[in-house]
Each structure stands twice: as C-alpha cells, then as structure tokens.
Structure 1
C-alpha cells in the first residue's frame, strides 16, 4: 500500500461564487507531496475583503473549527459502544492476532480517508453525496445518501438502546432498590424520550458541527475515565472469579467444560475458536467515521487535505491506543470469563460496585453526547437529496433533526429485538463506507490523464474495494450462520 501519495497536488475549484480560488490562495507543493494553501499577496488582500464575503466556500460558511476541536469531533465519531466488546474480541482471537487486526484496520481506515480527501480535492467537493453525484450521477448520490442515513440511524438507535437498557438500572442501583418498580423514572422508553428532548435535541440544533467539539471532548473524557477504571480493576479483581459461573462462550467438548482453572487465568497469544469469526467484524468496524469526515473537513479552519489528514491520523491513533488498552486490561481481568458487553461482567462480580456504577454513568453520558455528532451527516445527506444548493434555513435545519430523532425513538421503543437488523445494517453499510465507496469514487473521479486506470494507486483502490466486498460477504455469512445455529439450538431444547 503506497501511503506516501497522500494529498498529491490537485487544483481544487469552487462549485459556486464565481471567484477563482487562485485569487485568494496560491497553491504550493510541499516536499512530502501535500498540497498547501498559502495566503495571497498583500496587494490582493484589500481587493478580496469585499469579494470573499460574497462567495460560498463549499458551504454557507467559512470553516472556523480549530484543529483540536476537529480531532475531538472525529475521535468522538470513531468512538462507539463497540469499545465495550473489544475485550471479548481479544479473548476469542488472542492478544497477538487482535493487535495485528487492530493495526491493520487503523491503517486501512487512514488510507480510506486519504481516498476521500483526494477525491474531494480533485473536484472541490466536501459532501459525500456530491462525490457520489460526480462519480455515478444521481444513482451515486442517492446510494451514498442512503448508506450514510441507514448506517447512522442504526448507530443512533444503538446508542439510545444503551440508554434505554442501562439508565433504569443505574437509577435503580443509586436509589438502593433491589427490584425494579413501575415508577416513571425506571421506565426505559420514557427515559430515552426525556434524554432526547432535553439533551440530544438542543445539541443537534447547533448550526455547525464544530460547536460540538466541547461536548465531544467531554464525551471522550468519560471514556478515558472508563479506561482508567478498567486498568484499576485489573489490579484488584482476582482470577478466577470467586462467584463466576461457566459462561456461554467457554469452549465445550462432548458436552462438558474442558477449561481448567489454570487455563482460564492464562493469557492466550493466538486463539481460534467458534467465536473468532465474530470477533473479526467487531475489530474491522471499530474505526467507522467516514460519514463525519467530510463535514468535519468542511468546518476545519484553514482547511487543506494535509491538515484534515493529520486530524484523521491523530484521531485514529488516539482511538487505537484507547481500544488497545481497554481490550488488553479488560481481557487480563476476566480472561475467558469476559462477556460480550464488558460492563455486564463487572456488575456480575459486584452489582453494587460504586466505581463501576459511576463508570456506567460515564458511558451513558458518552453515548448520549455522541448522538448529535452522528446526526449531522444524516441531516446533510437528506438536504443533499431534497434541497441541494439551497441556502441555510433554520426551520429546515430544526425540522430534519426533530424528525430524525422521532423516527429513531420509535425504532428503539417499538422494535423489541432489533439487534439482527443492526447486524445486517452493520455488515452492509460499514464495509461500503470504509472500503467500497471511497475506492470506487477514487477510481471514477481522479482523471485518467493524472492517474491511468492501471496505475499503482488505482490498482490499490480496486483491491481495497475488493477487500470491502469480502468483509461484507463474510459478515453476512456469519450472521446467517448464527441465525441458523441459534434456531437449531432453540428447537433442540434449553
């Protein structure tokens, strides 16, 4: 994979405004191959002060978000509830295989963002849907918008499901109640409506995504607190767990458990079992943030491809460290007893543990503050479909956000078993956003006179798209096999 081509020079042209970018910027190429924007000469500045105020720079406003806030927003978009399942993934792959997978996916995600940014630089577009329009016409635009909408609606629903299931239990524990009552403050459906109206909706009504940098930073702080608690708990929780029971993911042979106490408390370097196949998609989709990349790029101050690529690289590296440390310390705490949702394992050990109860609150805060960040690309996709090129209108901005949150709340409230739907959505939309769409957009958009069809970069992009199709087929196959296996086990008895 050739990573040194990031940001090869293209002359980006504005789609509107009537003023050539060359009037206010001079393009130079740095030694590392990045395109760099330099301020225009002082003679031009006075002339341009009244001209630039009349033109549109990709959107209806100039990028004003700092580098740090952009890193917070993109990191928050990467960070999802999937971090709670990484220790389980490590227990079913082994430490070495997990680290290899995590490194590969982090590098592939960075390369994927490079393809997006390069396509954006060629045509002067910073909207995923418009890249689809440029590559394949209306079909490409609709396809990109639908995939982004489906994926992010699924992500928002999963976050609200965590609130629906965890918040009543947290309140119940704080109040010292041994059993759940019918009081309104313990009703998950009512609680998600309250959280949506009073917390999520006001944040979703922000005009610019950059304003959410502060909440994104606080959300990431909550997850850092979660990591610190995981590290601390590893030092005090004994192995084997004194009150642990044989969990469903232990290895069985001929109907009886073959895992001894010594084996259960021994870290495995490489492990292959029936659950390993399910661990691979968990790791593969841990860095899905691509619908948010171009909106964040649009709002970045002094936006260039190299600057946005640095935002992406810093965010991916920070999340790589978070993921790796959470997985390692969680795995070295419970080894084979770790559950697919790690917080449940801690609560099994001690349901009244005040520290882990506080951690659950922190995780709830983190996922709540992530929902508005995920909503922004959906709203942009809808606007690109129904009213492309129109000026900003507050009523439309508010209406789309309210309708989206209303639909997501309905999904969470009225669909009792939605995990299979999410599984199918994740298996199709995630590979499309990470691998397939950036690759085929790159092949179609970058001119053949600059990079021939059989040039090395385009061959790499084609192989990258092929890898995405393989991940998609593999993930769907695992889900179907799981459905069939589960169905057989349910028929067979308890």
Structure 2
C-alpha cells in the first residue's frame, strides 16, 4: 500500500452519483444489516452483481495485510488512549448509564464504520474525503478534513501526555534511586525529558514510515500490551490505598444525566477509528465488504469488552476520585501498575505513528491538489523532503503540548465531542442518505415505497446525525465550563 489511499477523480458537486459497473468481487450488502426495504430488493440484487472491492489495477498484494494483521491495526487504532479514560467516562455517565451508552455506541460505531466503505463503493471513490466531496462538495470535504486532522492531531497530543504519565514512574520504580538521583543524570528521568527522548527515538522513526501495513507488527505488540494493562488495572484496583478512593454518589451509581454527554464524548474517542477505516480496508488482501464487516464486528466487540472491564472496575474501585487517566489513580511506587504504565507508554509510542499517518495524508491532499477538492492524489506522493518536514512538524508540535499539561480528561472530552462526532455520527449517515436518495426516483415511488424509505433509511441516518450534533454541542459546552471552573484539576499521578 502507498502512503495514502488509492483515489479516483471526484465527480462535480452538482452531478447525481451513479454506481459504476465493475467486474471484480461480489458486493455483499446482505451481511451488512444496512437499513433497506422491499422496494430496494431489485436494486440490491443488481448491487450484488457489482464489485465492491478496489479496482483490480490498484490491488498490490505485496503490500497488503491479511485478516489478522488488519485486525491488529484496527483494534490498536481503537484501543488507544481512550481506554484508560473509560472509568472517567463511566463516572460522568453513571455506572448503569455508562454500560448502556457503551453498548449503544459500539453498535453505532460498527454500523458507521461499514457505512464509510459502502459510501466509498457507491460513489466509486477510495478515500473518506473524496466520498464526502462527491456527496456534499468542496465545503463538506473541508469540514471532514478539519475533523480528521484535528482528531488525529489531538490524539497525538494525548499519546504524548500519556508517555509522560507512564514511562518516568516505571523507570524510577525499577532503577535504583542511587542512580536516578545522581545530579549528572537525574534530569534524564524527569517527565519532560522522558517525553522528548522516547518520542524522538521511537515514535518519530516509526512515523517516518510511508506504508501503514508495515506497522502491523508494532500494532500487534501494542494490542497485547493493552490487554495486559486491562488485566493488571482490574486486578490491582481493589488493593489500592484506601486513601485514594471515595464513595460513589447516587447519580454515579445509576445514570448521571447532568454529565452523560461528557461520558459519551470520552467513550466516542475510545471507539472511533473512522479516519483510519479506508486505509485499513485498502490494506486488506482481496478486500470485500463482507470481509471488512467481519473485521469490524470482531474489532469493535473486543474493544467494547476491554472498555467495559476497564470502566466498571475502575469506577467501582476509586469512585468519586476517579481521574481522567485511571493509571494516575494509583501510587507512583505501585510496581504492578508500573508494569501496566510501561505497556501503555509503549502502546502510545506505537499508536502515535498511525495518527501521524492520517494527518500527513490530509496535508498531502491540500498540498498536492491546492484546495484538496478537485483532483485525485492516487498517483501522487509527497517528495522525500515534504514527507520529512511534515512528519517532523507533526511529531514535535504535538509533543510540545504534553510538556505543559497532564490533564488527559479534557483532551479526550473535547476531541470526542467535536471531531469524533463529525466523523462517526454525522458525516457517514448523511452521505449514505444522499447516495441512497440519488439512486432512486423518490417522486415516482408509491406511498408504501416512500414510507419504507423514510422508515428504513431516512429516519436512522438523520437520527444518528442529530445525536452527533447533540453530543458535539452539549459535551463541548460542558467540558469547557468545567475546565474554566477548574473541575478537571488534580489529574496527575500521586507521588
């Protein structure tokens, strides 16, 4: 796979999208459980005879991922920084509310992930941004580019914050104090020094890679590390110092409607990987819709279970004192948690390049196509100099933010409420609605056909988009309000 997705030229904004004929693999919509009605059956039969995979000329199996490798990339993209914020999300939502929200959002995320690939196939485009341009023109595409780049860029900031919250405590725990306190080298074990050294020596070289499929081994290692973190945090929680805990209020036990949207935004940040979807789909060997659907079901299911275990266990153990990073609830000298911190720090170091890959691809579109809306960049690549300079700027500008803050919670809330909502809940269903409407002659449908279209397609997609707008505005307002009133203070590790 190249450094960006294979793309076709976009269609002028005022033209109705038409699904072109293909002769490659079967377009298996049946397995996707997409909203449809009896009036769509003839169309579905036609679609199943058309291709959903990439154009054969763009298939290069030498740079493709098998199902296991693709799962590692997708699961690692999902199970990133957001998982350690799940107890904080459950605290905001309430224990019962958090469980309900997590299940509903997992189903919703699974559906919209598959919609992105369906939309790209229906519009004959091979990037998320080109699909949006196809449906809503230049300004729709710009909105998506802003959402994608801010989500990935903000994720990089969060990852660097976590590196600073984890690695220093690990080193100090397992290296004798007589060494770490030496005046000549003690500065090496300080939070900011560790962030600079580890980001520069590990994340930066990985970020310079042009091929996302080559990150699969690193993703596999990071995924194993994440499972270790969940297990250790769940087991050690009951044995934490009682002074670190606080009882749950009635709202925190049940459903806390006052701050449930903030909980939704943190959970959304943990589950959303829509900006990586087309990259991962394009990296699959002999990619088909049904194959991608299976990958999505497994990755979302595993991620939900991990988030559920972490969220419930963390909240029950620390109650009202639960922090934005649950690992920061433990003492810095807890050696078992320091193992989890070490694994999590390494996970962030290897997940970081996936996010840089996405932001760099957005910048590539802007640089190589001017406004990024009227030309394909499938055959274009950044020069070596451009690639190096852009990657360097992205890595070290995001790293600089982590040098001045350790408040992970507010970062997760703001990114989850804005960029994640746009990418996951608003844009995919609206694109699907536009494409479906363009494929039928709505005015010529009888009353029953119109009713079926409204109930099975229009209402679910519009409802999902409205939900995304509510999350965006309510959660953003609440997060900024609480930050101004300093309710997010005290998120650093207890010494």
Q: TM-score category by the smaller chain?
A: 0.7 to 0.9
Report if the CA contact (8 A) 1:443-1:458 is conserved.
yes
Higher RCO by CA contacts (8 Å cutoff, separation 6 or greater): 2
Q: Secondary structure at the match of 1:486?
A: coil
Deviation at 1:109, TM superposition (A): 0.5
1:392 equivalent to 2:381? Answer: yes
Residue 330 of structure 1: aligned partner: 314
CA 1:321 to 1:176, structure 2 compared with 1: closer, same or farther past 3 Å?
same
CA deviation vs aligned residue, 1:76-121 (integer Å, no higher than 9, x gap): 1111222222223334544432221111000111111122121111
TM value normalised by structure 2: 0.77
The answer on 1:317 being equivalent to 2:301 is yes
> How far, CA to CA, are the matches of 1:480 and 1:268 in structure 2?
21
CA distance change for structure 1 residues 392 and 14 in 2, over 3 Å: closer, same or farther?
A: closer
User: Which of these residues, 334, 338, 347, is aligned with residue 357 of structure 1?
Assistant: 338
How is 1:279-298 mapped onto 2 (pairs within 5 angstroms)? 279-298=263-282
SS at match of 2:231: helix
Partner of 2:333: helix, strand, or coil? coil
Cα distance change, pair 123–342 in 1 and its aligned pair in 2 (3 A): same
Question: What residue is the counterpart of 1:405 in the other structure?
Answer: 395
Checking the alignment, whether the CA contact within 8 Å between 1:36 and 1:304 is kept in structure 2 is no
Q: Does 1:450 align with 2:440?
A: yes
1:416, distance to aligned residue in structure 2 (A): 8.6
Asked whether the equivalents of residues 97 and 256 of structure 2 are also in contact (C-alpha less than 8 Å), the reply is no
Asked if 1:219 is matched to 2:208, the reply is no
Whole-Å Cα distance in 2 between the matches of residues 431 and 277 of structure 1?
Answer: 11
1:183 Cα deviation (Å)? 2.7
Residue deviations 1:367-416, cap 9 Å, x none?
Answer: 11110111221121111222142433551433332232132223334679
Check the 8 A contact 2:244/2:330 in 1, yes or no: no
Q: Write the mapping of 1:176-191 to structure 2, written as runs, cut at 5 A.
A: 176-177=176-177, 183-191=186-194
> Aligned Cα RMSD in Å?
3.6
Task: Give the number of the structure whose alpha-carbon radius of gyration is greater.
Answer: 1
Name stretches of at least 5 consecutive residues in structure 2 with no aligned partner: 1-5, 10-18, 34-46, 369-375, 443-449, 490-495
- 1:35-54 counterparts in 2 under 5 A? none
Q: Distance in 1 between matches of 2:192 and 2:201?
A: 15
Question: 1:15 matched to which residue of 2?
Answer: 8
Report the number of matched residues: 437
> Secondary structure at the residue paired with 2:330?
helix
Q: Residue 39 of structure 2 aligns with which residue? A: none
Give the equivalent residue in structure 1 for 2:492.
Answer: none
CA distance in 2, matches of 1:335, 1:279: 15
Q: Report Cα offsets for 1:154-201 as digits up to 9, x if no partner.
A: 100110111123322322232343997773312333332322232112
The CA distance in 1 between the partners of 2:418 and 2:29, in whole Å, is 38
Report the Cα offset of residue 211 of structure 1: 1.4
**Cα distance in 2 for residues equivalent to 1:421 and 1:237:** 29
DSSP-derived class of the 2:439 partner: coil
Q: Distance in 2 between matches of 1:148 and 1:200?
A: 20
